[in-house]
């Protein structure tokens, strides 16, 4: 919600330095923008007549009449007060308008108002210097309020929070005071409209009839500016005033053209299947909606004239010719409104507030303020048509909360006077009884319902002084499955495979040509987005990109989930897919498949379990080579995956001249086999995380001793256990060894020291 700082300053002591504190107490500041208005040598003039054919406007200015050429003459009417830039002004000089010599009529954008392209009109008298009536240098603050604080969706709400900061930090007891508003004139009842309501959906409803025959139509200048700064489009006098009151108090209202309401009757009710109502609704935003049963609507005759609290209809919207209005203010069933508004995807200002919470206690102030503003016009009469208030609303008060064990929950000491100070600043009613606080939240704080809510309010202001050392409380280790997966991925890493990550969606448009080689998606999101049913498909799309980029001999892999629907059940499977590009290397025999070596290594050295590879009499996937593909399965005949070459037709379509090898492995199944065959859980109870050390050792050393040395080191260096050793030739005389160890923790200082100790130990022992 955007609010200009001058508006806030009308009610509370405010400066930009408070924003940091506001952020800390939960009202985030999204951004602050500064607006500078150019108003030197700009005066107000009154439009006396318009020659629409020649685009000439006769304006009364400086006790004289001048004729000005104006392109947007259709926006003007007689008696409008417009802003005129005189020849000395920078706007006049900048525009260099050859048609005009005495001055030019300004648009909002000329003056510097954001997104205001229309003629700048105001409610001032002619011959006044405009700069005296504008905020020339203004900060506009965009507040992001938490979801559970709908009371902050108004200028008053924000000022209440600012006043609590002022009170706490500066001892400025400047809590917000609502403006003193005279009660509006006694309004005689009118029975011109027949009003019926369904009380199940309404907590409060007030309807007024307004008869307005006045000539003045322009929204007061200060309200115009506030709305522009808040990012709300100017519309007409009534709509602007209502938007202003909604922003100021957070109370949404709606206004109808009373002459367009048929039968002089309005019914507020839920839509029933039996009612003969046209369920098509043409909204103010020019969109047609289909209303369903149980939606809460306002009806006149067989037509829906509004979705109360959400949006009005186009048919009953007001225009410049309207003189007979109906004003509707109400508190409706917010859950019902939420369902309707969400289904129809309407995000109006009224809906945002009505669907959350409306503060009943300032409801009357808002209406009084509105009526007071309306009475500033001449020749206007306002009559109350209808009033309904639910008794539950009147009796709805916040219940007292007992604050016990605050120190235990916080974990640090906080004295009672500090708690008292904070809660008073936040307008809580505080009592102290039997060493416990009993606090009652202010009426607008519907979010404060238990002691944790109150504690949250306390820590907004009181932070602990930290003096704490973390202690390692290591109980768990990586599960055997995760350890094995880590090992497999490590092996791939050290053998120059690159891990990639693709999206969970199934098909890429560019891959459309190759779809016939892969299975279709079986699961979709509500927007009909297909979820990937194969990982290799996605991996291949990535490989094609690399081929197009001219990369050679790349080895890539991805480990992730695929999603399928089997027998009406959602099935997620973890897959490991590998693709290897081999430029100019067409193998003819399956035994030369590079992925075979990889699989053998994984099974023999990492999983330590037998693997059966079968080439004949198997079902070959469409993407695989009919002769050069093997099936992996265990002795119980469970299929674990496939390895081999890709289908040559597919490779040809990709326009790749070499060969592409693949492996598609069901990672869950192979890790399950491991669990059954050999328990590899590390035995040291306090061991937790891993440490990798890379060392270079002369080949002539007895490297077979390394595991035993590491094991022995556990007696000297606490909590170390060897996971695995990877070796790799550097050159003819040296090897690089990567030693993976379990260590106690990931603390940098600890691990660095540990690494030094282990290297020194190896040095000594080898």
Partner 1 sequence: MNLYNDIIQTVTNIKNKFNNEALLCDNIKLLHLLKQSYINNHINTLTQNIKNINSIEDKKKVGQAINQCKRYIIDYNIKLKDDTSNNEYVNMSLYIDNIKTGSIHPVRQMLKKITNICISLGYDIKDGPEIEKIDYCFDKLNIPTTHPSRKTSDTFYIKDSKEYVMRPHTSSVQIKTLLHNKPPVQIISTGKVFRNDDNDRTHNQFFHQIEGLTVNKTASYIDLYNILNYMAINIFNSDTKIRFRTSYFPFTEPSMEVDISCQICKQKNIDCKTCKNIGWIEWGGCGLVNSQVLKNCNIDSSIYRGFAFGMGIERTIMMQQNISDIRLLFNNDINIYQQIKI
Using CB under 8 A, which of 234, 695, 717, 725 touches partner 1?
A: 695
- Min. distance of Cβ 24 from partner 1 in angstroms? 6
Calpha distance 55→30 (Å, rounded): 44
Using CB under 8 A, which of 67, 415, 553, 698 touches partner 1?
A: 698
Based on the shown chain and the rule CB under 8 A, indicate whether residue 700 belongs to the binding site for partner 1.
yes
Looking at the Cβ atoms of 466 and 589, the one nearer to partner 1 is 466
Please, which of residues 436-475 interact with partner 1 by CB under 8 A? Answer: 447, 450, 452-453, 455-456, 459-460, 463-464, 466, 468, 470, 472-475
Looking at the Cβ atoms of 384 and 740, the one nearer to partner 1 is 740
CB 485 within 8 A of CB 671: yes
Looking at the Cβ atoms of 359 and 490, the one nearer to partner 1 is 490
Token pair 């695995």: residue: 724
- Min. distance of Cβ 245 from partner 1 in angstroms? 24
Using CB under 8 A, which of 89, 334, 354, 659 touches partner 1?
A: 334
* CA–CA distances in Å: residue 758 to residues 660, 701, 706: 42, 17, 11
Using CB under 8 A, which of 182, 288, 527, 566 touches partner 1?
A: 527
Task: Find the distance separating the first CA and the last CA of the chain, reported in whole Å.
Answer: 69
Using CB under 8 A, which of 66, 86, 511, 523 touches partner 1?
A: 523
Please, which of residues 111-150 interact with partner 1 by CB under 8 A? Answer: 146-149
Based on the shown chain and the rule CB under 8 A, indicate whether residue 537 belongs to the binding site for partner 1.
no
401, two tokens:
């909360």
Based on the shown chain and the rule CB under 8 A, indicate whether residue 487 belongs to the binding site for partner 1.
no
Based on the shown chain and the rule CB under 8 A, indicate whether residue 754 belongs to the binding site for partner 1.
no
Based on the shown chain and the rule CB under 8 A, indicate whether residue 701 belongs to the binding site for partner 1.
yes
Using CB under 8 A, which of 52, 65, 178, 524 touches partner 1?
A: 524
Calpha distance 477→63 (Å, rounded): 89
Calpha distance 352→612 (Å, rounded): 62
Please, which of residues 670-689 interact with partner 1 by CB under 8 A? Answer: 688-689
Please, which of residues 585-624 interact with partner 1 by CB under 8 A? Answer: none
Paired with 277 in beta bridges are none
- Min. distance of Cβ 356 from partner 1 in angstroms? 7
Looking at the Cβ atoms of 431 and 572, the one nearer to partner 1 is 572
- Min. distance of Cβ 722 from partner 1 in angstroms? 17
Q: Choose the binding region for partner 1 from 60-68, 427-435, 502-510, 614-622 (rule: CB under 8 A).
A: 502-510
Using CB under 8 A, which of 696, 707, 753, 756 touches partner 1?
A: 696
Looking at the Cβ atoms of 116 and 563, the one nearer to partner 1 is 563
Total number of residues that touch partner 1 (CB under 8 A): 102
Please, which of residues 564-583 interact with partner 1 by CB under 8 A? Answer: 570, 572
Q: For 139, what's the count of Cα atoms within 13 Å in the CB-facing half-sphere?
A: 13
What is the maximum alpha-carbon separation in the chain? 108
For 588-596, the CB contacts below 8 A with 24+ separation are 588/628, 589/628, 590/615, 590/627, 590/628, 590/629, 590/630, 590/644, 593/628, 593/630, 593/643, 593/644, 593/645, 593/661, 594/661, 595/643, 595/644, 595/661, 595/662, 595/663, 596/630, 596/643
Show Cβ contacts of residue 31 under 8 Å, excluding neighbours closer than 6 positions.
Answer: 142
Looking at the Cβ atoms of 109 and 456, the one nearer to partner 1 is 456
Using CB under 8 A, which of 579, 744, 754, 758 touches partner 1?
A: 744
Closest by CA to 428, choosing from 453, 410, 404, 392, is 453
Show Cβ contacts of residue 715 under 8 Å, excluding neighbours closer than 6 positions.
Answer: none
User: Exposure of 324 by Cβ count < 10 A (0-12 exposed, 13-18 middle, 19+ buried)?
Assistant: middle
Using CB under 8 A, which of 16, 290, 394, 409 touches partner 1?
A: 409
Q: For helices 416-425 and 451-461, what crossing angle results, to 10°?
A: 90
DSSP assignments along 461-500, one per residue: H--PPP-------------HHHHHHHHHHHHHHHTT-EE-
Looking at the Cβ atoms of 432 and 452, the one nearer to partner 1 is 452
Looking at the Cβ atoms of 267 and 474, the one nearer to partner 1 is 474
Based on the shown chain and the rule CB under 8 A, indicate whether residue 411 belongs to the binding site for partner 1.
yes
């Amino acid at each position: 919600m955007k609010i200009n700082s001058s508006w806030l300053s009308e009610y509370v002591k405010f400066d930009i330095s408070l924003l940091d504190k506001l952020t800390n107490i939960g009202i985030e500041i999204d951004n602050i923008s500064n607006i500078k208005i150019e108003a030197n040598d700009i005066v107000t003039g009154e439009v006396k007549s318009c020659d629409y054919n020649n685009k000439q406007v006769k304006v009364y200015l400086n006790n004289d009449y001048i004729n000005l050429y104006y392109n947007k003459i259709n926006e003007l009417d007689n008696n409008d007060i417009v802003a005129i830039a005189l020849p000395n002004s920078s706007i006049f000089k900048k525009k260099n308008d050859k048609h005009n010599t005495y001055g030019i009529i300004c648009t909002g954008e000329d003056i510097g108002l954001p997104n205001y392209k229309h003629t700048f009109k105001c409610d001032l008298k002619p011959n006044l210097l405009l700069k005296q009536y504008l905020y020339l240098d203004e900060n506009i603050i965009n507040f992001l309020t938490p979801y559970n604080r709908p009371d902050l969706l108004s200028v008053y709400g924000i000022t209440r929070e600012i006043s609590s900061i002022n009170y706490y930090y500066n001892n400025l007891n400047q809590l917000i005071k609502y403006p003193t508003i005279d009660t509006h004139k006694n309004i005689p009842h009118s029975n011109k409209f027949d009003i019926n309501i369904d009380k199940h959906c309404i907590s409060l409803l007030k309807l007024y009839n307004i008869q307005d025959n006045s000539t003045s139509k322009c929204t007061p200048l200060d309200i115009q500016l506030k709305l522009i700064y808040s990012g709300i489009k100017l519309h007409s006098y009534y709509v602007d005033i209502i938007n202003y009151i909604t922003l100021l108090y957070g109370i949404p209202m709606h206004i109808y053209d009373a002459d367009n309401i048929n039968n002089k009757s309005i019914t507020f009710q839920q839509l029933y299947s039996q009612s003969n109502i046209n369920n098509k609704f043409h909204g103010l935003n020019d969109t047609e909606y289909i209303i369903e049963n149980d939606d809460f609507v306002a009806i006149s005759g067989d037509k829906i004239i509004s979705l109360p609290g959400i949006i009005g209809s186009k048919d009953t919207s007001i225009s410049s010719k309207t003189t007979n209005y109906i004003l509707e203010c109400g508190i409706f069933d917010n859950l019902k409104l939420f369902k309707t508004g969400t289904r129809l995807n309407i995000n109006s200002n009224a809906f945002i507030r009505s669907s959350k919470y409306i503060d009943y206690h300032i409801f009357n102030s808002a209406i009084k303020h509105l009526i007071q503003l309306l009475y500033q016009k001449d020749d206007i009469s306002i009559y109350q048509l209808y009033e309904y208030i639910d008794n539950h609303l009147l009796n709805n008060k916040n219940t007292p909360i007992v604050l016990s064990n605050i120190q235990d929950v916080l974990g640090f000491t906080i004295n009672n006077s500090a708690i008292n100070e904070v809660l008073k600043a936040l307008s809580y009613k505080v009592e102290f009884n039997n060493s416990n606080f009993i606090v009652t939240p202010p009426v607008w704080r519907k979010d404060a319902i238990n002691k944790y809510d109150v504690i949250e309010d306390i820590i907004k202001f009181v932070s602990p002084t930290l003096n704490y050392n973390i202690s390692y409380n290591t109980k768990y280790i990586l599960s055997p499955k995760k350890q094995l997966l880590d090992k497999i991925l490590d092996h791939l890493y050290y053998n120059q495979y690159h891990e990639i990550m693709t999206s969970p969606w199934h098909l890429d448009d560019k891959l459309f040509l190759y779809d016939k080689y892969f299975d279709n998606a079986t699961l979709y999101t509500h927007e009909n987005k297909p979820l990937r049913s194969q990982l290799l498909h996605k991996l291949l799309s990535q490989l094609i990109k690399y081929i197009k980029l001219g990369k050679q001999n790349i080895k890539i892999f991805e480990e992730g989930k695929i999603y399928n629907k089997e027998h009406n059940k959602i099935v997620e499977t973890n897959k490991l897919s590998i693709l290897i590009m081999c430029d100019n290397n067409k193998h003819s025999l399956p035994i030369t498949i590079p992925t075979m070596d990889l699989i053998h290594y994984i099974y023999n050295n990492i999983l330590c379990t037998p693997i059966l590879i079968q080439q004949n009499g198997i079902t070959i996937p469409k993407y695989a080579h009919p002769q050069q593909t093997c099936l992996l399965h265990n002795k119980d005949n469970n299929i674990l995956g496939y390895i081999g070459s890709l289908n040559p037709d597919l490779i040809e379509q990709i326009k790749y001249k070499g060969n592409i090898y693949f492996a598609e492995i069901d990672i869950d199944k192979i890790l399950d086999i491991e669990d059954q065959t050999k328990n590899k859980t590390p035995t040291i109870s306090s061991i937790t995380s891993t440490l990798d050390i890379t060392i270079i050792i002369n080949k002539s050393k007895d490297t077979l001793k390394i595991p035993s040395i590491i094991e022995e080191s556990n007696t000297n260096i606490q909590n170390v256990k060897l996971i695995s050793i990877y070796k790799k030739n550097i050159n003819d005389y040296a090897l690089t060894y990567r030693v993976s160890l379990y260590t106690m923790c990931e603390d940098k200082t600890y691990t660095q020291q540990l690494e030094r100790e282990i290297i020194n130990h190896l040095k000594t022992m080898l």
